[in-house]
Chains A and B, each alone.
Chain A
Amino acid sequence: MPSLGADMESGVLVEWLVAPGQPVKRGQVVAVVETQKGAVDVEIWEPGVMDRLVVQPGTRVPVGEVLATLRDGEARPAAAPAAPVPAAPAPAAAAAPRPSVPVAAAPVSTAVHVKASPAARKRAEALALDLTRVPGSGPDGAITLEDVERAAPRAAEAPAPPAARAAAPADKQAAMRAAIAAAMAKSKREIPHYYLGTTIDVTRAQDWLTQENAKRSVKERILFAAVLLKAVASALPEVPELNGFWIDGAFRPSAAVHLGVGIALRGGGLIAPAIHEANTKSVAELMAALGDLIQRARTGALRSSELTDATVTVTNLGEQGVESVYGVIYPPQVALIGLGKIVDRPWAENGGLFVRRVLHATVSADHRASVGHRGGLFLAALDRLLQQPEKL
Protein backbone atom coordinates (compact mmCIF):
# COMPACT_ATOMS: atom_id res chain seq x y z
CA MET A 1 0.00 0.00 0.00
CA PRO A 2 1.68 3.17 -1.13
CA SER A 3 1.66 6.22 1.08
CA LEU A 4 -0.32 8.75 -0.92
CA GLY A 5 0.56 11.67 1.27
CA ALA A 6 2.25 12.30 4.60
CA ASP A 7 -1.06 11.97 6.34
CA MET A 8 -2.15 8.61 5.01
CA GLU A 9 -2.17 5.62 7.36
CA SER A 10 -4.16 3.09 5.42
CA GLY A 11 -6.19 2.65 2.27
CA VAL A 12 -8.85 0.37 0.90
CA LEU A 13 -8.00 -1.63 -2.18
CA VAL A 14 -11.04 -1.07 -4.36
CA GLU A 15 -10.13 -2.89 -7.52
CA TRP A 16 -7.32 -4.65 -9.33
CA LEU A 17 -6.87 -3.54 -12.94
CA VAL A 18 -4.38 -6.30 -13.72
CA ALA A 19 -4.40 -10.07 -13.38
CA PRO A 20 -1.67 -12.47 -12.28
CA GLY A 21 0.60 -13.33 -15.20
CA GLN A 22 -0.08 -10.04 -16.91
CA PRO A 23 2.97 -8.02 -17.96
CA VAL A 24 3.04 -4.48 -16.63
CA LYS A 25 5.12 -1.50 -17.58
CA ARG A 26 6.48 1.40 -15.61
CA GLY A 27 3.82 3.99 -14.84
CA GLN A 28 0.91 1.69 -15.60
CA VAL A 29 -2.17 2.01 -13.40
CA VAL A 30 -2.59 -1.37 -11.72
CA ALA A 31 -5.12 -0.78 -8.97
CA VAL A 32 -7.60 1.67 -7.50
CA VAL A 33 -7.25 2.58 -3.85
CA GLU A 34 -9.75 4.50 -1.77
CA THR A 35 -8.08 7.03 0.50
CA GLN A 36 -9.27 9.78 2.77
CA LYS A 37 -8.93 12.04 -0.23
CA GLY A 38 -10.94 9.93 -2.62
CA ALA A 39 -10.21 7.13 -5.05
CA VAL A 40 -6.70 7.11 -6.48
CA ASP A 41 -5.26 5.22 -9.42
CA VAL A 42 -2.15 3.45 -8.21
CA GLU A 43 0.71 3.21 -10.63
CA ILE A 44 3.48 0.65 -10.66
CA TRP A 45 7.10 1.76 -10.87
CA GLU A 46 8.86 -1.38 -11.95
CA PRO A 47 8.23 -3.29 -15.12
CA GLY A 48 7.63 -7.02 -14.83
CA VAL A 49 4.89 -9.59 -14.67
CA MET A 50 2.18 -9.55 -12.02
CA ASP A 51 2.74 -12.57 -9.85
CA ARG A 52 0.28 -12.75 -6.98
CA LEU A 53 -2.43 -10.34 -5.92
CA VAL A 54 -2.03 -10.56 -2.17
CA VAL A 55 -4.76 -8.19 -1.07
CA GLN A 56 -8.38 -8.78 -2.02
CA PRO A 57 -10.59 -5.91 -3.17
CA GLY A 58 -12.56 -4.36 -0.33
CA THR A 59 -9.78 -4.81 2.20
CA ARG A 60 -8.35 -1.97 4.25
CA VAL A 61 -4.59 -2.27 4.59
CA PRO A 62 -2.01 -0.11 6.34
CA VAL A 63 0.58 1.83 4.38
CA GLY A 64 3.63 -0.26 3.60
CA GLU A 65 1.81 -3.57 3.40
CA VAL A 66 2.48 -5.67 0.29
CA LEU A 67 -0.47 -5.48 -2.11
CA ALA A 68 0.88 -7.81 -4.74
CA THR A 69 4.10 -9.39 -5.86
CA LEU A 70 5.78 -8.86 -9.14
CA ARG A 71 8.17 -11.11 -10.94
CA ASP A 72 10.83 -10.03 -13.32
CA GLY A 73 9.58 -11.13 -16.70
CA GLU A 74 12.75 -10.42 -18.59
CA ALA A 75 15.27 -11.92 -16.27
CA ARG A 76 14.00 -15.41 -16.87
CA PRO A 77 15.79 -17.18 -19.69
CA ALA A 78 13.34 -17.71 -22.49
CA ALA A 79 14.20 -21.41 -22.79
CA ALA A 80 13.79 -22.13 -19.11
CA PRO A 81 10.69 -24.03 -18.09
CA ALA A 82 8.16 -21.77 -16.49
CA ALA A 83 9.22 -21.76 -12.90
CA PRO A 84 6.24 -21.88 -10.59
CA VAL A 85 8.08 -19.93 -7.94
CA PRO A 86 9.85 -16.78 -9.07
CA ALA A 87 13.37 -16.41 -7.83
CA ALA A 88 12.84 -13.15 -6.06
CA PRO A 89 9.34 -11.79 -5.93
CA ALA A 90 9.58 -8.07 -5.47
CA PRO A 91 6.85 -6.23 -3.68
CA ALA A 92 4.82 -4.54 -6.33
CA ALA A 93 3.76 -0.98 -6.94
CA ALA A 94 2.93 -0.20 -3.62
CA ALA A 95 5.87 -1.07 -1.58
CA ALA A 96 8.51 -0.69 -4.26
CA PRO A 97 10.38 2.58 -4.05
CA ARG A 98 10.67 4.26 -7.41
CA PRO A 99 14.22 3.74 -8.47
CA SER A 100 14.86 6.87 -10.51
CA VAL A 101 13.16 9.28 -8.17
CA PRO A 102 14.51 8.91 -4.68
CA VAL A 103 11.93 11.31 -3.36
CA ALA A 104 9.13 8.92 -4.15
CA ALA A 105 9.77 7.24 -0.87
CA ALA A 106 9.31 10.64 0.62
CA PRO A 107 5.73 10.54 1.64
CA VAL A 108 6.38 9.70 5.20
CA SER A 109 4.81 6.40 5.97
CA THR A 110 4.70 5.66 9.64
CA ALA A 111 6.76 2.55 9.03
CA VAL A 112 9.76 4.63 8.09
CA HIS A 113 10.01 6.14 11.51
CA VAL A 114 9.62 2.97 13.51
CA LYS A 115 12.74 2.27 15.51
CA ALA A 116 13.66 -1.36 15.25
CA SER A 117 16.78 -3.46 15.13
CA PRO A 118 17.72 -4.89 11.74
CA ALA A 119 17.10 -8.41 13.04
CA ALA A 120 13.66 -7.37 14.25
CA ARG A 121 12.87 -5.84 10.87
CA LYS A 122 13.98 -8.94 9.05
CA ARG A 123 11.93 -11.22 11.26
CA ALA A 124 8.89 -8.95 11.01
CA GLU A 125 9.17 -9.01 7.26
CA ALA A 126 9.33 -12.80 7.26
CA LEU A 127 6.24 -12.93 9.46
CA ALA A 128 4.51 -10.22 7.41
CA LEU A 129 4.11 -8.34 10.66
CA ASP A 130 3.38 -4.64 10.75
CA LEU A 131 6.11 -3.10 12.90
CA THR A 132 4.02 -0.05 13.67
CA ARG A 133 1.78 -2.31 15.76
CA VAL A 134 4.55 -3.91 17.75
CA PRO A 135 5.30 -2.40 21.17
CA GLY A 136 9.03 -1.81 21.55
CA SER A 137 10.95 -2.60 24.74
CA GLY A 138 14.42 -1.46 23.61
CA PRO A 139 16.09 1.92 24.10
CA ASP A 140 13.83 4.81 23.05
CA GLY A 141 11.05 2.29 22.56
CA ALA A 142 12.94 0.55 19.78
CA ILE A 143 11.58 -2.78 18.70
CA THR A 144 13.80 -5.77 19.39
CA LEU A 145 13.77 -9.26 17.93
CA GLU A 146 12.06 -10.54 21.10
CA ASP A 147 9.33 -7.94 20.74
CA VAL A 148 8.63 -9.20 17.25
CA GLU A 149 8.55 -12.82 18.35
CA ARG A 150 6.21 -11.91 21.19
CA ALA A 151 3.89 -10.03 18.85
CA ALA A 152 3.90 -12.67 16.14
CA PRO A 153 1.37 -15.13 17.59
CA ARG A 154 -0.96 -12.33 18.55
CA ALA A 155 -0.81 -10.93 15.05
CA ALA A 156 -1.70 -14.33 13.66
CA GLU A 157 -4.76 -14.49 15.90
CA ALA A 158 -5.86 -10.99 15.13
CA PRO A 159 -9.04 -10.92 13.11
CA ALA A 160 -8.70 -10.16 9.44
CA PRO A 161 -9.23 -6.51 8.60
CA PRO A 162 -12.93 -5.90 8.18
CA ALA A 163 -14.09 -5.66 4.61
CA ALA A 164 -14.34 -2.05 3.66
CA ARG A 165 -17.60 -0.41 2.86
CA ALA A 166 -17.94 2.59 0.68
CA ALA A 167 -17.58 5.39 3.17
CA ALA A 168 -20.56 7.67 3.56
CA PRO A 169 -19.94 11.26 2.51
CA ALA A 170 -19.98 12.46 6.10
CA ASP A 171 -17.34 9.88 7.02
CA LYS A 172 -15.26 10.93 4.06
CA GLN A 173 -15.36 14.56 5.07
CA ALA A 174 -14.39 13.70 8.61
CA ALA A 175 -11.60 11.49 7.29
CA MET A 176 -10.31 14.25 5.07
CA ARG A 177 -10.41 16.73 7.91
CA ALA A 178 -8.46 14.26 10.02
CA ALA A 179 -5.92 13.81 7.22
CA ILE A 180 -5.42 17.55 6.82
CA ALA A 181 -5.16 17.94 10.59
CA ALA A 182 -2.47 15.26 10.80
CA ALA A 183 -0.36 16.71 7.98
CA MET A 184 -0.65 20.29 9.16
CA ALA A 185 0.03 19.45 12.81
CA LYS A 186 3.12 17.53 11.73
CA SER A 187 4.21 20.49 9.62
CA LYS A 188 3.86 23.00 12.43
CA ARG A 189 5.47 20.63 14.90
CA GLU A 190 8.52 19.80 12.82
CA ILE A 191 9.11 22.50 10.22
CA PRO A 192 10.63 25.81 11.31
CA HIS A 193 8.74 28.03 8.90
CA TYR A 194 9.84 31.47 7.83
CA TYR A 195 7.55 33.75 5.86
CA LEU A 196 8.19 36.37 3.19
CA GLY A 197 5.85 38.42 1.07
CA THR A 198 6.01 41.00 -1.66
CA THR A 199 3.58 42.92 -3.83
CA ILE A 200 3.96 42.33 -7.55
CA ASP A 201 2.56 44.47 -10.36
CA VAL A 202 0.75 42.05 -12.69
CA THR A 203 -0.74 44.65 -15.02
CA ARG A 204 1.50 43.73 -17.94
CA ALA A 205 0.96 40.03 -17.44
CA GLN A 206 -2.82 40.47 -17.32
CA ASP A 207 -2.85 42.73 -20.38
CA TRP A 208 -0.78 40.19 -22.23
CA LEU A 209 -3.18 37.39 -21.31
CA THR A 210 -6.20 39.47 -22.32
CA GLN A 211 -4.66 39.88 -25.79
CA GLU A 212 -3.86 36.18 -25.97
CA ASN A 213 -7.37 35.18 -24.92
CA ALA A 214 -8.95 37.52 -27.46
CA LYS A 215 -7.41 35.27 -30.13
CA ARG A 216 -8.75 32.13 -28.52
CA SER A 217 -12.12 30.44 -28.67
CA VAL A 218 -14.12 30.15 -25.46
CA LYS A 219 -12.83 26.63 -24.86
CA GLU A 220 -9.19 27.53 -25.36
CA ARG A 221 -9.11 30.49 -23.02
CA ILE A 222 -6.41 30.56 -20.39
CA LEU A 223 -6.93 31.52 -16.76
CA PHE A 224 -4.47 33.91 -15.19
CA ALA A 225 -3.76 31.18 -12.66
CA ALA A 226 -1.94 29.27 -15.43
CA VAL A 227 0.29 32.29 -16.11
CA LEU A 228 1.09 32.50 -12.41
CA LEU A 229 1.89 28.78 -12.23
CA LYS A 230 4.19 29.16 -15.21
CA ALA A 231 6.03 32.05 -13.55
CA VAL A 232 6.35 30.11 -10.28
CA ALA A 233 7.62 26.99 -12.06
CA SER A 234 10.14 29.07 -14.01
CA ALA A 235 11.39 30.93 -10.95
CA LEU A 236 11.88 27.85 -8.77
CA PRO A 237 14.94 26.44 -10.57
CA GLU A 238 16.70 29.72 -9.75
CA VAL A 239 16.32 28.92 -6.04
CA PRO A 240 16.53 25.13 -5.84
CA GLU A 241 16.45 25.21 -2.01
CA LEU A 242 12.69 25.67 -2.19
CA ASN A 243 12.02 22.70 -4.45
CA GLY A 244 12.41 19.23 -2.99
CA PHE A 245 12.02 17.34 0.26
CA TRP A 246 13.35 17.33 3.78
CA ILE A 247 13.81 13.68 4.67
CA ASP A 248 15.70 12.09 7.54
CA GLY A 249 17.46 15.26 8.55
CA ALA A 250 18.64 16.30 5.11
CA PHE A 251 17.39 18.36 2.20
CA ARG A 252 16.97 16.50 -1.07
CA PRO A 253 16.54 18.94 -3.92
CA SER A 254 14.52 17.91 -6.93
CA ALA A 255 15.69 18.63 -10.46
CA ALA A 256 12.13 18.52 -11.76
CA VAL A 257 9.48 20.94 -10.59
CA HIS A 258 6.36 18.94 -9.79
CA LEU A 259 4.06 21.76 -8.84
CA GLY A 260 1.44 20.87 -6.24
CA VAL A 261 -1.68 22.94 -6.73
CA GLY A 262 -4.08 23.48 -3.85
CA ILE A 263 -7.57 22.63 -5.05
CA ALA A 264 -10.61 23.21 -2.87
CA LEU A 265 -13.06 20.37 -3.09
CA ARG A 266 -16.78 20.96 -3.12
CA GLY A 267 -18.30 20.27 0.25
CA GLY A 268 -15.06 21.12 2.01
CA GLY A 269 -11.70 19.50 1.85
CA LEU A 270 -8.47 20.35 0.18
CA ILE A 271 -6.13 18.45 -2.03
CA ALA A 272 -2.85 19.46 -3.63
CA PRO A 273 -2.02 17.13 -6.51
CA ALA A 274 1.00 17.78 -8.67
CA ILE A 275 1.39 19.00 -12.21
CA HIS A 276 4.43 17.00 -13.27
CA GLU A 277 7.43 18.74 -14.85
CA ALA A 278 5.63 22.07 -14.64
CA ASN A 279 8.80 23.99 -15.53
CA THR A 280 8.93 22.37 -18.97
CA LYS A 281 5.31 23.13 -19.86
CA SER A 282 4.02 26.18 -21.74
CA VAL A 283 1.31 28.42 -20.32
CA ALA A 284 -1.28 26.73 -22.55
CA GLU A 285 -0.07 23.29 -21.50
CA LEU A 286 -0.25 24.31 -17.85
CA MET A 287 -3.80 25.52 -18.37
CA ALA A 288 -4.74 22.17 -19.88
CA ALA A 289 -2.99 20.32 -17.06
CA LEU A 290 -4.66 22.50 -14.42
CA GLY A 291 -8.13 22.00 -15.91
CA ASP A 292 -7.57 18.27 -16.09
CA LEU A 293 -6.30 18.14 -12.52
CA ILE A 294 -9.19 20.16 -11.07
CA GLN A 295 -11.69 18.01 -12.92
CA ARG A 296 -10.14 14.78 -11.72
CA ALA A 297 -9.57 16.04 -8.18
CA ARG A 298 -13.27 16.79 -7.90
CA THR A 299 -14.40 13.51 -9.40
CA GLY A 300 -11.90 11.45 -7.42
CA ALA A 301 -9.75 10.15 -10.26
CA LEU A 302 -6.25 11.26 -9.35
CA ARG A 303 -3.18 9.13 -9.91
CA SER A 304 -0.96 8.03 -7.06
CA SER A 305 2.08 9.85 -8.45
CA GLU A 306 0.13 13.10 -8.53
CA LEU A 307 -0.55 12.81 -4.82
CA THR A 308 2.98 11.91 -3.78
CA ASP A 309 5.30 13.68 -6.20
CA ALA A 310 4.70 17.38 -5.58
CA THR A 311 8.06 18.98 -4.86
CA VAL A 312 6.53 22.31 -3.83
CA THR A 313 2.96 23.60 -3.51
CA VAL A 314 1.15 26.71 -4.69
CA THR A 315 -2.01 27.97 -3.07
CA ASN A 316 -4.07 30.46 -4.96
CA LEU A 317 -6.41 31.60 -2.22
CA GLY A 318 -6.69 34.94 -3.97
CA GLU A 319 -9.40 33.17 -5.89
CA GLN A 320 -11.51 33.26 -2.72
CA GLY A 321 -10.85 36.93 -2.23
CA VAL A 322 -8.04 37.15 0.31
CA GLU A 323 -5.17 39.47 -0.46
CA SER A 324 -2.46 37.52 1.36
CA VAL A 325 -1.97 33.91 2.28
CA TYR A 326 0.97 32.56 4.27
CA GLY A 327 0.55 28.83 3.99
CA VAL A 328 1.55 25.83 6.04
CA ILE A 329 4.14 23.68 4.29
CA TYR A 330 3.00 20.21 3.27
CA PRO A 331 5.63 17.81 4.63
CA PRO A 332 8.08 16.61 3.46
CA GLN A 333 8.11 19.56 1.06
CA VAL A 334 10.10 22.62 2.07
CA ALA A 335 8.13 25.52 0.66
CA LEU A 336 4.65 26.73 -0.06
CA ILE A 337 3.92 29.65 -2.34
CA GLY A 338 0.84 31.76 -1.66
CA LEU A 339 -0.86 33.92 -4.25
CA GLY A 340 -3.39 36.51 -3.17
CA LYS A 341 -6.23 38.29 -4.87
CA ILE A 342 -5.45 40.65 -7.72
CA VAL A 343 -6.55 44.17 -6.82
CA ASP A 344 -6.27 47.70 -8.23
CA ARG A 345 -3.88 49.78 -6.14
CA PRO A 346 -2.10 53.13 -6.39
CA TRP A 347 1.44 52.39 -7.48
CA ALA A 348 4.38 54.79 -7.54
CA GLU A 349 6.92 54.17 -10.27
CA ASN A 350 9.60 56.37 -11.85
CA GLY A 351 8.33 59.39 -9.92
CA GLY A 352 4.77 59.00 -11.17
CA LEU A 353 1.66 57.62 -9.55
CA PHE A 354 -0.41 55.03 -11.37
CA VAL A 355 -3.26 52.63 -10.77
CA ARG A 356 -1.97 49.12 -11.23
CA ARG A 357 -3.28 45.60 -10.82
CA VAL A 358 -1.21 44.03 -8.09
CA LEU A 359 -0.94 40.72 -6.34
CA HIS A 360 0.62 39.86 -2.99
CA ALA A 361 2.87 36.82 -3.40
CA THR A 362 4.27 34.99 -0.40
CA VAL A 363 6.58 32.14 0.35
CA SER A 364 6.52 30.00 3.48
CA ALA A 365 9.76 28.08 3.59
CA ASP A 366 11.54 25.54 5.74
CA HIS A 367 14.44 27.27 7.47
CA ARG A 368 16.34 23.99 7.65
CA ALA A 369 16.52 23.91 3.85
CA SER A 370 16.90 27.58 2.96
CA VAL A 371 17.56 31.01 4.42
CA GLY A 372 15.39 34.07 4.05
CA HIS A 373 17.74 35.68 1.58
CA ARG A 374 17.21 32.82 -0.88
CA GLY A 375 13.46 32.89 -0.37
CA GLY A 376 13.60 36.59 -1.16
CA LEU A 377 15.46 35.87 -4.38
CA PHE A 378 12.67 33.55 -5.41
CA LEU A 379 10.04 36.28 -4.98
CA ALA A 380 12.28 38.70 -6.90
CA ALA A 381 12.57 36.17 -9.74
CA LEU A 382 8.80 35.70 -9.74
CA ASP A 383 8.31 39.46 -10.03
CA ARG A 384 10.87 39.74 -12.84
CA LEU A 385 9.30 36.90 -14.85
CA LEU A 386 5.81 38.37 -14.53
CA GLN A 387 7.02 41.66 -16.01
CA GLN A 388 7.90 39.83 -19.24
CA PRO A 389 4.86 37.62 -19.77
CA GLU A 390 5.54 37.15 -23.48
CA LYS A 391 8.75 35.34 -22.58
CA LEU A 392 7.10 32.90 -20.22
Chain B
Amino acid sequence: MNQADIRRALIDALSSVAPEGDYDRLKPDRPLRDQLDIDSYDFLNVVVRLHEQLGVDIPEADYQKLATLDSAVAYLAPRVGAA
Protein backbone atom coordinates (compact mmCIF):
# COMPACT_ATOMS: atom_id res chain seq x y z
CA MET B 1 0.00 0.00 0.00
CA ASN B 2 1.49 3.35 -1.01
CA GLN B 3 0.74 6.90 0.01
CA ALA B 4 -1.83 7.34 -2.76
CA ASP B 5 -3.70 4.27 -1.46
CA ILE B 6 -3.72 5.71 2.03
CA ARG B 7 -4.95 9.04 0.75
CA ARG B 8 -7.73 7.24 -1.09
CA ALA B 9 -8.70 5.21 1.99
CA LEU B 10 -8.77 8.41 4.02
CA ILE B 11 -11.01 10.18 1.50
CA ASP B 12 -13.25 7.11 1.44
CA ALA B 13 -13.58 7.20 5.22
CA LEU B 14 -14.23 10.94 5.23
CA SER B 15 -16.79 10.80 2.45
CA SER B 16 -18.68 8.09 4.28
CA VAL B 17 -19.39 10.55 7.10
CA ALA B 18 -19.46 13.76 5.06
CA PRO B 19 -20.67 12.70 1.61
CA GLU B 20 -21.40 16.25 0.44
CA GLY B 21 -17.84 17.49 0.96
CA ASP B 22 -15.94 18.96 -1.97
CA TYR B 23 -13.05 16.51 -2.05
CA ASP B 24 -11.56 17.90 -5.25
CA ARG B 25 -10.93 21.22 -3.58
CA LEU B 26 -9.75 19.88 -0.25
CA LYS B 27 -6.62 21.72 0.84
CA PRO B 28 -4.23 19.03 2.08
CA ASP B 29 -2.59 21.27 4.67
CA ARG B 30 -5.76 22.77 6.16
CA PRO B 31 -7.79 21.22 9.01
CA LEU B 32 -10.24 18.63 7.70
CA ARG B 33 -12.79 19.44 10.38
CA ASP B 34 -13.29 23.00 9.17
CA GLN B 35 -13.26 22.14 5.48
CA LEU B 36 -15.73 19.28 5.76
CA ASP B 37 -17.75 20.50 8.73
CA ILE B 38 -17.28 17.28 10.66
CA ASP B 39 -17.79 17.06 14.40
CA SER B 40 -16.21 14.80 16.98
CA TYR B 41 -18.84 12.12 16.42
CA ASP B 42 -18.09 12.11 12.67
CA PHE B 43 -14.39 12.03 13.44
CA LEU B 44 -14.84 9.01 15.69
CA ASN B 45 -16.56 7.25 12.79
CA VAL B 46 -13.67 8.13 10.49
CA VAL B 47 -11.27 6.55 12.98
CA VAL B 48 -13.47 3.44 13.17
CA ARG B 49 -13.52 3.15 9.37
CA LEU B 50 -9.76 3.60 9.08
CA HIS B 51 -9.41 0.85 11.65
CA GLU B 52 -11.61 -1.42 9.55
CA GLN B 53 -10.06 -0.51 6.19
CA LEU B 54 -6.40 -0.26 7.11
CA GLY B 55 -6.24 -2.31 10.28
CA VAL B 56 -4.64 0.60 12.14
CA ASP B 57 -5.55 1.12 15.77
CA ILE B 58 -5.34 4.86 16.34
CA PRO B 59 -5.12 5.78 20.01
CA GLU B 60 -7.12 8.77 21.14
CA ALA B 61 -3.95 10.68 22.00
CA ASP B 62 -3.00 10.62 18.31
CA TYR B 63 -6.25 12.07 16.97
CA GLN B 64 -4.68 15.49 16.55
CA LYS B 65 -2.17 14.00 14.10
CA LEU B 66 -5.06 13.33 11.75
CA ALA B 67 -6.02 16.99 11.60
CA THR B 68 -5.10 17.57 7.95
CA LEU B 69 -4.96 15.28 4.93
CA ASP B 70 -1.16 15.59 4.72
CA SER B 71 -0.54 15.00 8.41
CA ALA B 72 -2.92 12.05 8.44
CA VAL B 73 -1.15 10.38 5.52
CA ALA B 74 2.20 11.02 7.17
CA TYR B 75 0.92 9.50 10.39
CA LEU B 76 -0.71 6.46 8.80
CA ALA B 77 2.02 5.58 6.25
CA PRO B 78 4.53 3.95 8.63
CA ARG B 79 1.69 2.21 10.47
CA VAL B 80 0.40 0.42 7.40
CA GLY B 81 3.89 -0.25 6.09
CA ALA B 82 3.60 2.07 3.11
CA ALA B 83 6.57 2.58 0.89
- Report A216-274 residues with CB < 8 Å from chain B CB: 218-219, 221, 223-225, 264, 266-267
Q: Nearest Cβ distance between residue A207 and chain B, in whole angstroms?
A: 12
Residue from B18, B37, B39, B44 in contact with A221 in the complex, judged by beta carbons closer than 8 Å: B44
A214 to B57, CA, bound (A): 11
Closest partner residue, chain A, to B50 (CB atom): A218
Hey, which chain A residues are within 8 Å of B61, CB to CB?
210
- Report A314-343 residues with CB < 8 Å from chain B CB: 319-320
- The answer on a CB contact under 8 Å between B58 and A319 is no
A290 to B45, CA, bound (A): 13
Hey, which chain A residues are within 8 Å of B48, CB to CB?
218-219
Residue from B19, B37, B41, B59 in contact with A223 in the complex, judged by beta carbons closer than 8 Å: B41
**B40 near A: Cβ within 8 Å?**
yes
A267 to B20, CA, bound (A): 8
Q: Nearest Cβ distance between residue B48 and chain A, in whole angstroms?
A: 5
Hey, which chain A residues are within 8 Å of B41, CB to CB?
223, 225, 290-291, 294
**B69 near A: Cβ within 8 Å?**
no
- The answer on a CB contact under 8 Å between B59 and A266 is no
Residue from B20, B40, B58 in contact with A218 in the complex, judged by beta carbons closer than 8 Å: B58
- The answer on a CB contact under 8 Å between B40 and A319 is yes
Residue from A214, A264, A290 in contact with B60 in the complex, judged by beta carbons closer than 8 Å: A214
**A282 near B: Cβ within 8 Å?**
no
**B8 near A: Cβ within 8 Å?**
no
Q: Nearest Cβ distance between residue A285 and chain B, in whole angstroms?
A: 16
Hey, which chain B residues are within 8 Å of A224, CB to CB?
40
A92 to B83, CA, bound (A): 64
A221 to B46, CA, bound (A): 13
Q: Is the interface of A mostly helix, strand, loop or mixed?
A: helix
**A213 near B: Cβ within 8 Å?**
yes
Q: Which of A214, A266, A294 is the most central at the interface, judged by chain B CB atoms within 10 Å of its CB?
A: A266
Mask of B33-53 contacts with A, CB within 8 angstroms, 1/0: 000010111001001100100
A214 to B37, CA, bound (A): 27
Hey, which chain A residues are within 8 Å of B37, CB to CB?
266
A122 to B41, CA, bound (A): 50
Hey, which chain B residues are within 8 Å of A218, CB to CB?
47-48, 51, 57-58
Q: Nearest Cβ distance between residue B55 and chain A, in whole angstroms?
A: 11
Q: A266-B18, A266-B20, A267-B20 are in contact. Are A221 and B40 (CB under 8 A)?
A: no
Hey, which chain A residues are within 8 Å of B60, CB to CB?
210, 213-214, 221
Mask of B14-36 contacts with A, CB within 8 angstroms, 1/0: 00001110000000000000000
Hey, which chain A residues are within 8 Å of B19, CB to CB?
266
Closest partner residue, chain B, to A223 (CB atom): B40
A70 to B41, CA, bound (A): 41
Residue from B39, B47, B59 in contact with A319 in the complex, judged by beta carbons closer than 8 Å: B39
Residue from B20, B40, B57, B59 in contact with A225 in the complex, judged by beta carbons closer than 8 Å: B40
A224 to B43, CA, bound (A): 13
- The answer on a CB contact under 8 Å between B40 and A214 is no
Residue from B18, B47, B58, B59 in contact with A214 in the complex, judged by beta carbons closer than 8 Å: B59
Hey, which chain B residues are within 8 Å of A320, CB to CB?
39
Closest partner residue, chain A, to B37 (CB atom): A266
Hey, which chain B residues are within 8 Å of A225, CB to CB?
40-41
Q: Which of A218, A224, A264, A294 is the most central at the interface, judged by chain B CB atoms within 10 Å of its CB?
A: A218
A264 to B33, CA, bound (A): 14
A71 to B20, CA, bound (A): 46
Closest partner residue, chain B, to A210 (CB atom): B60
Closest partner residue, chain A, to B41 (CB atom): A294
Hey, which chain B residues are within 8 Å of A267, CB to CB?
20
The 5 closest A-B pairs by CB, nearest first: A218-B51, A319-B39, A213-B60, A294-B41, A218-B48
Task: Please name 12 pairs of A and B residues whose Cβ atoms are closer than 8 Å in the assembled complex, sorted by A.
Answer: A210-B60, A218-B48, A219-B48, A219-B51, A221-B47, A223-B41, A223-B44, A264-B39, A266-B18, A266-B37, A290-B41, A291-B41
Q: A interface vs B, CB < 8 Å?
A: 210, 213-214, 218-219, 221, 223-225, 264, 266-267, 290-291, 294, 319-320
Q: 11 extra interchain contacts, Cβ-Cβ under 8 A, other than A210-B61, A221-B60?
A: A214-B59, A218-B57, A219-B51, A221-B47, A223-B40, A223-B41, A225-B41, A266-B18, A266-B20, A294-B41, A319-B40
